[in-house]
Structure 1
């Protein structure tokens, strides 16, 4: 058992996590108590007392009930209250205001140093008995001491000398036996970089030793960044509660972040006692609004420097911080200038006529010097450039994969790859640090700088292991008992990346990114010109004034131009004849409309006939302003001639089909008539075989007649002129239904109309042909086991009328959905279902002439539904 009555045990991961979480969540800014070397009063905005430290009751010899609710002027008088209000009304960079005051009716009480600050809705007044320091330290001494310190700082030649001077002067001012300058690294581990000790006071030296980040947890660092000085006058003190307990904000005690007397964590008190410290004072050293380090003052016994001394110490620290900033800035500027010179040289080397990888091969050393790295890998467009001390490329590829999964497209800086990525570094080069920056938003291209492993020993102030304490509340971190020097050999770590390294790397990456895009743009321009030159279309681009910017080889050759006198010239200087007039009209149309347009033009140029289809469109810059006009023309002269020839041929074929189908009617009629007469005249002397032959001939003639009639109708649809009209579609459908029902074979069929059937714009004969064929097919391909059920409906869309003819017939397999609309396509044997295979092809052809379309949806064995559209016409 230790002196706090809790047990300690060996560490495991679960207990460590609980202990660290408990440490990080400790609310040290609201302890609800103060140190006993002073007194605290919590006041309302009207200076009414709402809380006090319990020892204040003893100081004025009054019970708590008599104090709470009193106006502060009862104890200090009107003048003091006015002075305090004046202090609050004056804006100040610091959060606390300092004065001295005395009780008006307590002559036996000494004078007090008073500090006043605001804490949300309350005022906090802290009182400490006024006394001098190690030497008599009056107000004029305060100014003289700080002035002398500031002047002397200007004579300090080096940063190390600056460190030594500030700790010496701080020890002389405060009277502490040991004063350390404690600097944080990037991971918040601390290092003692300077120390001054009073050799008459037995305290060990910590100069050069390191302290783990867990010694000062993050919430403590946050307080150091807000309240720059903290005093513990006696590390064995018993805290004094602030009463009563019922006043709180959201269930929490008053925030004491800026209080001088704030009680500290018991864990920290144990830490100081284990170190052999009787009194402690820490002053924050800030750089660029970030906690750079601490001036830590220790004594081997209790020590209470007065507020005036502490104020002088804080002011001296701020002055030291300003001079430190000058030294650091000078060093940083020197490094920045060197890095900038490397970057400038690299930028100059990235010439437009050389690719990025070619330049890097010649100037690779600049990439390392600018970032202070040992090796570099540039991974761009699936190509790698590597130089210096780097791991195996297979490991680099693994690292890129890891970055794509975990990097979020941001800079990744690590001085321990194994620790931060769980990847095992491979290769002769033991690269332990990496600085990786994505070259593109796709996070597939990276520049990765590497640093070699630094095999070194670190001197720690005690072995920096974490111990766990468990009590009734839970697990807690326990400070180490020994601070004796302990050496640790570090492996797998590289020198940490500084901010200027990262800034230089980002600058280089931007240069490479720009170069990458320049290379891509140059390649794209080359590819574009190759595409243009190998295109059979005539392509040229002009600016808005008509000057030619780009033109391809096809246009140059077709128009018979001189390639040396084209780019930069106005199109009127390049082209001639009718083409110039056409171009004038097209340019004017495009600029006025600012929209793409298509032009058809027939003209002669250089004694050659052209039939051009031209697509012309504007090109916009990044401000959405038109900067050029692009013309893409296709010479369709050959196609034009072919189409004319095809049209003539089609008309001749259609006429031939019409004449043939018409003239074939007469011989078929003769065959049918005379074969019928033959059967009638000689029926008594013909044997059975002869009668069968006659029947076959008559059936064949009849089928031929139907086929010729359908072909005649199909042919007629190809060349006839027609005039659509508004027709009563419903009335025609009703007429067709009645006609089908007259046939004996269709007596049991159910043919119904569902919903409204509109009047449509179409030739009545054509609509009747479409519906007759669809209804006829539905009756013909019925399911022999079921009564035919046919439903006809129509729906309206924005531009069309959509008709549907559904049935419960045998259905159609999906593979035949498109084939059934082709000429002579029959799905079934003619012995099962009669027909010529022309009906649906005729329907499709009719609908095409009206810009309509037809399709089918069906499931084999479950019926079909034919859909067709007829464009609407404004009535």
Structure 2
């Protein structure tokens, strides 16, 4: 077994700023040329002479054929001239004049064509037949594999069988960037890292970005000496060459030391990209140097892409199922929140669903100083203080953390049942919150080596080496809860929107109720006036004429007694009519509407038939225009229309001829109807009283009536969400109009 080499002194203080994309050198298991558009050599790696016999400093400015030989150049020219992209493409296998064989990869980047020559033992082209059995067998077994972990194990075995590496790992990155080994295939003599974690600091941010760009990277021998580019600067840009996509790109000396400390001399990494993010890596290790030809690397890269697609599919399915369950709970809650009138009590009634919704152990509702709790929650005083802190810092629509004590120091005494918090403000103005709590989740993480071992102590020099130990090191985590799922956060926002919608609807209902109560109060005032005045008048008549009848009991004047009895009868009939109209008006506000298609021509005809007795002997000219079909309650609308037509008949009683017209107007959103007459009309100064209960603008002696008919018209039209109005010139007639909104059949 190869022992870890002694660690050289390396400056890790600027590790994140290291120019890993522009190292200025390559790994020496091949050579690199940069070419101009005419395929003249611009740069060569310093080891060119070792492989081709042509010195690196003699190559720039010469044709490609002079450097690799005419036959090799002739083989490559058609491929190089065909147009290349930014990612390396296999353009053929060539033999140079000195008899060496090379697989050639080429790509266009940084203003030049980069040609990489990887040494191989064969003169034949790369054999991509490795790709088909590997991918085919993997695809056959994918459908029999349900979990991501089992898919990863399958991928490890396949990659190891192709590369021959001693150990192959699949690890995924968590939200903090730490890598967790979830699958492994290894030779029995290799150390196992299964289940262990690698700290995020092992892979600097810029290296992660490079993993996203270049999906596969091979290091054949961690003890190599890099071969510099000659000249060192790109002649086109005047800067160091960007070798981001180059297969031979030299890697950071820090990483090489890291590999040697890990007792690994050869490694290969395949990026697992899921939805544009670096989900994880397939990481291959070998204790000795190991070459992996381009065709085998291509097979492994393709397998990595398929694995990433399978991971995305499995995660999407799990995410969809999770969101469906949470949404089902949310729908159940929202249904419960519409049952009663007290919004806060409604929330309290769905406490069990609220716990399931957020997978919480406790939930609290705070409205001003009122607090309702369910499950395992902090004390009320602690909840009030927490709400004060939330209100002070304004965390937006939803606040969540799985380590509350790190942000809010007083939470340290609440870690048992409130290490995690999901807070949703119900109001922007008042201190109203819905709070979910999660308990402390004490757990142990097993690291592949102490992740804190390479952190400098105070006053220590910045000249450090990568950590040298990868022995299992356990760390117990306190003060955190299980993390909140992204779906829970998004659906909490959706739940908040729905809650605000319910609250707004309640506010609108309260406003409508207040408006309705206002109208009812006015009607009640009119009713009180009617009882004290209108209804009292016929009752006074009854009592008065009854007294006169008693006084004349001994009189022989039968005609006088009959007149008294007739007056009593008329007064009683008027009182009864007042009571009947009051009951009718009351029913207009309580009875349910049953809208349907109504032909207004038929409705008017029915009203005229009903008015036949009242119009008998009268000279009335009816002018009824064509009327449309509308959507309304036919019974209610019949009553409203009858009242309007009956009013027109009554107030034209002194006209000969009486002229009564009815017409309709079609508008985009409503239909307007007009009933006009040439009768007595009314004074427009009092039009605001016209549709009130028991309001009369004429003397009872001139035009008898109870004053409820037009109030009924207004109530019926408004219950159809319509409007009613009137215009008149006193003594010349009046026009009553009402508009009903258009509505399609439900």
TM-score (norm 2): 0.66
Alpha-carbon shift at residue 563 of structure 1 (Å): 4.6
Alpha-carbon shift at residue 216 of structure 1 (Å): 1.5
Structure 1 residue aligned with 2:435: 448
Q: Does 1:245 align with 2:249?
A: no
Which of 121, 131, 145 does residue 111 from structure 2 map onto? 121
Counterpart contact for 1:371–1:504, Cα < 8 Å: no
Structure 2 residue aligned with 1:483: 470
Q: Does 1:271 align with 2:275?
A: no
After the TM superposition, which of the residue ranges 525-534 and 180-189 deviates more from structure 2? 525-534
Structure 2 residue aligned with 1:83: 79
Q: What CA distance in whole angstroms lies between the structure 1 residues aligned with 2:28 and 2:651?
A: 101
After the TM superposition, which of the residue ranges 368-377 and 292-301 deviates more from structure 2? 368-377
Alpha-carbon shift at residue 408 of structure 1 (Å): 4.6
Alpha-carbon shift at residue 198 of structure 1 (Å): 0.8
SS of match in other structure, 1:102:
strand
* Mapping of residues 397-412 of structure 1, within 5 Å: 397-404=384-391, 406=393, 408-412=395-399
SS of match in other structure, 1:430:
helix
Q: What CA distance in whole angstroms lies between the structure 2 residues aligned with 1:443 and 1:276?
A: 62
Instruction: Classify 1:297/1:524 alpha carbon distance in 2 versus 1 (closer, same or farther; 3 Å).
Output: same
Q: What CA distance in whole angstroms lies between the structure 2 residues aligned with 1:349 and 1:451?
A: 24
Q: Does 1:60 align with 2:52?
A: yes
Q: What CA distance in whole angstroms lies between the structure 2 residues aligned with 1:23 and 1:285?
A: 24
After the TM superposition, which of the residue ranges 273-282 and 403-412 deviates more from structure 2? 403-412
Structure 1 residue aligned with 2:219: 232
Q: What CA distance in whole angstroms lies between the structure 1 residues aligned with 2:504 and 2:443?
A: 43
Counterpart contact for 1:38–1:129, Cα < 8 Å: yes
Alpha-carbon shift at residue 600 of structure 1 (Å): 7.8
Q: What CA distance in whole angstroms lies between the structure 2 residues aligned with 1:46 and 1:404?
A: 68
Which of 169, 176, 181 does residue 170 from structure 2 map onto? 181
1:76-100 alpha-carbon deviations (Å, 9 max, x no partner): 43552221233527xxxx9331232
Counterpart contact for 1:466–1:478, Cα < 8 Å: no
Long gaps (5+) in structure 2: 535-581, 591-632, 653-661, 671-682, 700-720, 726-746
Q: How many residues align?
A: 565
* Mapping of residues 255-266 of structure 1, within 5 Å: 255-266=242-253
Q: What CA distance in whole angstroms lies between the structure 1 residues aligned with 2:207 and 2:432?
A: 41
Instruction: Classify 1:260/1:563 alpha carbon distance in 2 versus 1 (closer, same or farther; 3 Å).
Output: same
* Mapping of residues 361-440 of structure 1, within 5 Å: 361-379=348-366, 384-404=371-391, 406=393, 408-427=395-414, 429-439=416-426
Structure 1 residue aligned with 2:685: 601
Instruction: Classify 1:430/1:408 alpha carbon distance in 2 versus 1 (closer, same or farther; 3 Å).
Output: closer
Which of 16, 31, 35 does residue 39 from structure 1 map onto? 31
Alpha-carbon shift at residue 181 of structure 1 (Å): 1.4
Alpha-carbon shift at residue 484 of structure 1 (Å): 0.8
Q: What CA distance in whole angstroms lies between the structure 1 residues aligned with 2:348 and 2:249?
A: 62
Structure 1 residue aligned with 2:8: 4
Higher relative contact order (CA 8 A, sep 6+): 2
1:846-866 alpha-carbon deviations (Å, 9 max, x no partner): xxxxxxxxxxxxxxxxxxxxx
Alpha-carbon shift at residue 439 of structure 1 (Å): 4.3
Q: What CA distance in whole angstroms lies between the structure 2 residues aligned with 1:218 and 1:579?
A: 90
Instruction: Classify 1:522/1:566 alpha carbon distance in 2 versus 1 (closer, same or farther; 3 Å).
Output: closer
Structure 1 residue aligned with 2:605: none
Structure 2 residue aligned with 1:707: none
TM-score (norm 1): 0.57
Counterpart contact for 1:417–1:423, Cα < 8 Å: no
Q: What CA distance in whole angstroms lies between the structure 2 residues aligned with 1:363 and 1:579?
A: 60
Counterpart contact for 2:7–2:465, Cα < 8 Å: no
Long gaps (5+) in structure 1: 9-18, 537-551, 593-598, 611-626, 632-875
* Mapping of residues 552-571 of structure 1, within 5 Å: 562-565=585-588
1:315-362 alpha-carbon deviations (Å, 9 max, x no partner): 112222233334334433443333333223223323254444333322
Structure 1 residue aligned with 2:288: 301
Q: What CA distance in whole angstroms lies between the structure 1 residues aligned with 2:110 and 2:399?
A: 39
1:198-225 alpha-carbon deviations (Å, 9 max, x no partner): 12x4x32111111111111222222212
Instruction: Classify 1:405/1:36 alpha carbon distance in 2 versus 1 (closer, same or farther; 3 Å).
Output: farther
Q: What CA distance in whole angstroms lies between the structure 2 residues aligned with 1:137 and 1:453?
A: 56
SS of match in other structure, 2:84:
helix
Alpha-carbon shift at residue 409 of structure 1 (Å): 1.6
Q: Does 1:151 align with 2:140?
A: yes
Q: What CA distance in whole angstroms lies between the structure 2 residues aligned with 1:292 and 1:83?
A: 35
Counterpart contact for 2:35–2:43, Cα < 8 Å: yes
Instruction: Classify 1:240/1:223 alpha carbon distance in 2 versus 1 (closer, same or farther; 3 Å).
Output: same
Instruction: Classify 1:428/1:150 alpha carbon distance in 2 versus 1 (closer, same or farther; 3 Å).
Output: closer
Structure 2 residue aligned with 1:751: none
Q: What CA distance in whole angstroms lies between the structure 1 residues aligned with 2:77 and 2:651?
A: 96
Instruction: Classify 1:325/1:411 alpha carbon distance in 2 versus 1 (closer, same or farther; 3 Å).
Output: same
Alpha-carbon shift at residue 261 of structure 1 (Å): 1.7
Report the RMSD for the aligned CA atoms in angstroms: 4.2
SS of match in other structure, 1:40:
strand
* Mapping of residues 742-761 of structure 1, within 5 Å: none
Instruction: Classify 1:127/1:395 alpha carbon distance in 2 versus 1 (closer, same or farther; 3 Å).
Output: farther
Instruction: Classify 1:453/1:469 alpha carbon distance in 2 versus 1 (closer, same or farther; 3 Å).
Output: closer
Q: What CA distance in whole angstroms lies between the structure 2 residues aligned with 1:317 and 1:124?
A: 25
Q: Does 1:166 align with 2:158?
A: no
Q: What CA distance in whole angstroms lies between the structure 2 residues aligned with 1:254 and 1:353?
A: 71
Instruction: Classify 1:236/1:362 alpha carbon distance in 2 versus 1 (closer, same or farther; 3 Å).
Output: same
1:613-667 alpha-carbon deviations (Å, 9 max, x no partner): xxxxxxxxxxxxxx97799xxxxxxxxxxxxxxxxxxxxxxxxxxxxxxxxxxxx
Structure 1 residue aligned with 2:555: none
1:248-268 alpha-carbon deviations (Å, 9 max, x no partner): 788752222222222222222
Which of 139, 142, 145 does residue 131 from structure 2 map onto? 142
SS of match in other structure, 2:419:
strand
Counterpart contact for 2:103–2:126, Cα < 8 Å: no
Counterpart contact for 1:167–1:195, Cα < 8 Å: yes
Instruction: Classify 1:380/1:107 alpha carbon distance in 2 versus 1 (closer, same or farther; 3 Å).
Output: farther
Alpha-carbon shift at residue 519 of structure 1 (Å): 2.8
Alpha-carbon shift at residue 443 of structure 1 (Å): 9.2
Structure 2 residue aligned with 1:342: 329
Q: What CA distance in whole angstroms lies between the structure 2 residues aligned with 1:131 and 1:370?
A: 62
Structure 2 residue aligned with 1:190: 179
Larger-gyration structure (1/2): 1
Counterpart contact for 1:45–1:122, Cα < 8 Å: yes
Instruction: Classify 1:445/1:190 alpha carbon distance in 2 versus 1 (closer, same or farther; 3 Å).
Output: farther
Alpha-carbon shift at residue 401 of structure 1 (Å): 4.2
